[in-house]
Each structure stands twice: as C-alpha cells, then as structure tokens.
Copies of this chain bind each other. A is one copy, B any other.
Amino acid sequence: MIMPENDGEMKARPEMRQLGLATDLYQLTMAAAYYDNARHERAIFELSVRSLPPGRSYLVLAGLEQVLHYLKELNFSAEEIDYLRSLSVFADVSPEFFSYLRNFRFTGEVWAMPEGTVFFAAEPVIRVYAPLIEAQIIETFLLASIDFQTLIASKAARIVEAAQGRGIIEFGARRCHSFGAAIYAARAAYLGGCIGTSNVEAGKAFGLPVYGTAAHSFIMAFDNERESFHAYHKVFPRSTILLLDTYDTVAAARVATEFGNQLGGVRLDSGDLSFLSKQVRAILDQAGMQNTLIIASGDLDEYKIAELLENGAPIDLFGVGTELSTSRDAPALGGVYKLVEVVYPDRREPKMKLSQDKATYPYCKQVWRESADDGTFSGDIIAMSDEQEQRGEPLLVKVMSEGRIIDPLPDLKQSQEYARQQLTRLPPRFKKLVHPEYYHVGYSDRLEELRNELMNDLL
C-alpha cells in the first residue's frame, strides 16, 4: 500500500499525491507570463461567493483546513515540471521559470473567517496577500475546496435545523462526485451539524462518528426476514438496527419485536414514512420496546423532514444521502477569487473588473458584523481594511504568515460547535426553509465612493 510520508499533505488532500498540477492551465501560463515579465509585486486577492444559490439564505464556511494545508505543502515535483515542459504551450517560456517552479513555496499571508462562520453573498471569506504568481496559482484549488465544503455544510445546517434536535447522519457517499468528494462531504456535513456519517474512510480521516447496519441485500440473502434478522443480531447483539422495508414494513416490525428491548433500532427506507413510523412505533411500544429507536432514510431532505415532524412522525434519527452530500437542489456555488489590489514598493493600486454582471469591488476589505444586545446578528458592513471606527466585530482574522499556519487550527469538533453557536446567533427569520428574510450586507460609504471613482477612471 501507498502510505503517506507527510501528514500535512494528507490532511490537505487525502485524495492527491502531488499538489502542483492541481490547478487550471491558465494559472500556470499566467505565472510564466508574470515571471518572464519580471512581475514580482505582491497582490491581494479575495475569495467570495457572488450570490447565494437558490434556496439558500446564508452559508456556513467550510474547507479552510484543507486550503491551509494545501498552501503549506504546495510545491512542484520534478515529474510535474517535466510534464509541463512537455506541453507545446510552454515552448517559448524561459528555463528560469521552471527552476523557479521547482523551488516554489507559498510564502504569503492569509486572512480568513474561521470555519463554521455564517456568511453571506459578496463577503470576502479569504484574503490572500502574496506575490502575484503565488496568489494566482492557488485559485483553482481554493475555490474547489471552499465552494464544495461550504455548499455541503450549508445544506447540512438547513437539514439539521429542520430536524429540531433529532440527529442527522450523512449517508450519501455513493452519490457523491467520486469517492474522494464523499470524504469531504462527510467532513462538511459534520461541521454543519450532522452527528456522523456512513463513510468509513471519512470516519478514520477526520475522527467522525460512523454509523450503519445492514442493507436490503442482507435481508434478501437469507430465506426470510426472521432468519436474516437473527443472523445479524447474533453478530451485533449490542448494536442491531433492523431494516424493515424489504418486503412489508409492518410485518417486519412484528418480527422485530422478537428481540425485545435489546434491539437498538429499526430503519424505514421507503414508503409513507409518516404513516409507517406511527404503525411501527405502536407495534414496538406494545411489545415494551420504548427504547428502540426509529431511523428513517430514503431520498430525504430538509423539506421532507420538516413535513414528517409536522405530521408527528415518531422518528428519532434521519439518514440523509443524495440531497445532502451533493447539495442536489443547489449543487454549485458561485465562488470567485478576485484581484483587488496590486502592491508596489511605493504604492498600492486598487483593481476591479467591469465585465457585465460580474463587476467587482476593489480594495483590500474587512467584514464587520454587528450584533444586538442578545448576541444575535443584526447586519454586516463590508469596508476597506484600513477604515477605522467600524461597529461590531471584524470577521477576517490572520491565519497564515509567510506560508506558515499561525495558530493550531481548531479541531473539527470545535469548528462544529462554533458553527452551532453562529447559527444560534442568526435570528430564525433568516433561517426559515421557505421565504426567509435576507440578511443585510452593505458596503461602507468610503468603499462605495472610491469604487465609483475608480469605475469612472476605467470607463
């Protein structure tokens, strides 16, 4: 087996062996063009989400740990450089550029909101201050990490909210965009409030609680349900959860009563879950099995869970797969990573693009969040980073200096707890599943003013 030699890289990207080529080609052609034009100035880039996807009124930041480990470990192996040199596009690039790449390390400074922070459209969540080339090359990996994990953590938060305290288990590995994606889906789902995952590798990689018992095939492999239930229970006497819906859920529930109160739980995976859970609960209760849990799964999402609970379905735990792990109703996040300043030795130049519907805000920025007396969030202002006298607390904090992670990162359980606190501070009217109100995010007057000036200069 191939074993990791480097714990840092493994944390960054268990799915990858080498990091240098984990990018789009144009990042590397731009790098060559900067290099051969001796453009070694520093620049400031900011990562933000252009607009909230349909059906989302807030986002939960996730994926920062992977980003920071990637930045810490990023380099180009000889093999990777040989590959680049074999591409005809690089035919006229100087050999010095490839020597530069061979010695490449990320040396920049990074500011970010902590993982688990609740944030909104347009807010910079990561700020990179580094030489142009370094800041550019990392764009693709940063976006792929933050976009995806944020999507899943945000979806998880909605589902957890809908479940009103009942546990949500992430069940979606098989529907993820490759098994590698499943590992990060499980991580982000946990960060967003899930109690665990069915994904064993994610369990091991991130120390997540893992859940799961048996599938329909196990029932079908025996002559009848009774036989299969007993075969399972014999091997897992302390943790059996019986799957009831292979043939006839109510009949199977009657068989389950043979196990009495030692039975951990039963799972329903199809049919009218509201009706069936009530039937099954009655059968279990009548047999004195008040402690046996009912777990429901099968194409669930936040809306279906809310409806089940509204109907009084006595379900204790939910397993949620596809809808959570692919964020099916909003499977892509419009994360962007934009140049906002070029820093020359003697001056700083603000930068913006005017592309139709995609114009950006120039200048290095900070996000300030105001809270009411009870601690609930009341509105955010995006200001220039050097504007004084903003109210509230600044959300971007320095996490990396000269390519090194400054403080030990919180562990995932701490980030989960931080996300939980953040979500508690977001008033319920912004968290409604349908027709939520939209949280106020504004720009400082000075930023608006200077942006208008710059826009007029450019037009």
A contacts, CB < 8 Å to B: 1-6, 9-10, 13-18, 21-30, 32-34, 36-37, 39, 43, 45, 75, 77, 79-80, 83-84, 87-89, 91-93, 132, 136, 139-141, 143-145, 147-149, 171, 173-182, 184-185, 198-201, 203-204, 210-221, 231-232, 234-239, 245-248, 269-272, 322, 326-328, 331-333, 335, 338-339, 342, 351-358, 458-459
Contacts and interface: CB of A to CB of B under 8 A. Distances in A.
Contacts of A352: 220
A207 to B, nearest CB: 10
21 contacts: A3-B79, A15-B178, A16-B179, A23-B200, A24-B171, A25-B212, A26-B212, A28-B200, A33-B232, A92-B236, A132-B221, A140-B179, A144-B179, A147-B175, A175-B333, A177-B178, A245-B355, A246-B353, A247-B355, A270-B355, A326-B331
A174 B147 contact: yes
Given A16-B14, A18-B1, A356-B271, A178 B181 contact: yes
Given A23-B200, A25-B211, A34 B221 contact: yes
Contacts of A5: 2
Given A15-B14, A235-B32, A178 B173 contact: no
A246 B182 contact: no
Contacts of A93: 235-236
A13 B80 contact: no
Q: How many copies does the complex hold?
A: 2
A224 to B, nearest CB: 9
A227 to B, nearest CB: 10
Contacts of A459: 247-248
A204 B355 contact: no
Q: Identify which of A141, A175, A184, A213 gathers the most chain B CB atoms within 10 Å of its CB.
A: A175
Contacts of A198: 24-26
B217 A89 contact: no
Contacts of A79: 3
Contact of A356 (B13, B237, B270): B270
Given A4-B2, A16-B180, A178-B15, A217 B354 contact: no
Given A3-B17, A80-B204, A221-B34, A270 B147 contact: no
A16 B18 contact: no
A29 B221 contact: no
A2 B13 contact: no
Contacts of A184: 177-178
A36 to B, nearest CB: 5
A234 B200 contact: no
B238 A342 contact: no
Contacts of A214: 26, 29-30, 33
B25 A220 contact: no
Contact of A2 (B2, B21, B181): B2
A144 B178 contact: yes
A25 B210 contact: yes
Given A1-B17, A17-B3, A210-B87, A22 B322 contact: no
A317 to B, nearest CB: 14
